[in-house]
Amino acid sequence: MTFKTGDSLPDTKFSTPTEDGPKPINGIEVFSGKTVVLFAVPGAFTPTCSARHLPGYKDQVAAFKAKGVDTVVCTSVNDAFVMKAWAKDQGIGDEILMLGDGNGDFAKALGLTMDGSQFGMGIRSQRYALMAKDGVVEKLFVEAPGEFKVSAAEYVLENI
């Protein structure tokens, strides 16, 4: 892992689902001037991501806002179409900003990729969460391979 607390988040491009199709959005638009909690998952519709990770953040959005978080972001190495379908499946409205990192540029820039080729998934994002203020990471929670503990919404809430 190359990324650490105190580092500035990269200004990579994401895509976000809209009613009119995918909309490109720069990291600077997402992170500048705000307190953001971002969590990353290896893949939309995957078991842990769908059963626990995204629902945990959905359930805790108000608690994050009460702690001064402006935006809760979910990202995955998926395209905006997949992120939109996953959000719809999970009942996510606009309370969580769903960002597709289709080419994995953000995950690569952070040094937080994993190789899911043995599962037919290619290069994906590791499971992690972070809190950033004005684009600078103040807290970083990176999971050990195969685990789901420190990036869970409840854990992050207790530790920010």
Query: How high is the pLDDT of residue 48?
Result: 84
* 49 catalytically annotated: yes
The closest of 107, 109, 140, 141 to 123, measured between CA atoms, is 107
The 8-class DSSP code of residue 51 comes to: I
Query: Which three-class secondary structure state does DSSP give residue 150?
Result: coil
Which pTM was predicted?
0.93
Tokens of 146: 């195969």
Residue-range domains of the chain with CATH: 13-158 (3.40.30.10)
What order do you get walking across the sheet with 71-76 strand by strand?
Answer: 21-26, 13-18, 97-100, 71-76, 35-41, 128-133, 136-142
State how beta strands 35-41 and 71-76 pair.
parallel
Mean pLDDT by 10 residues, the chain (160 residues): 86 90 92 97 87 93 98 96 94 95 94 82 87 97 93 97
Report the greatest alpha carbon distance in the chain: 41
pLDDT at position 15 is 94
Give me the pLDDT at residue 18, please.
85
Residue of 36, 37, 49, 130 marked catalytic: 49
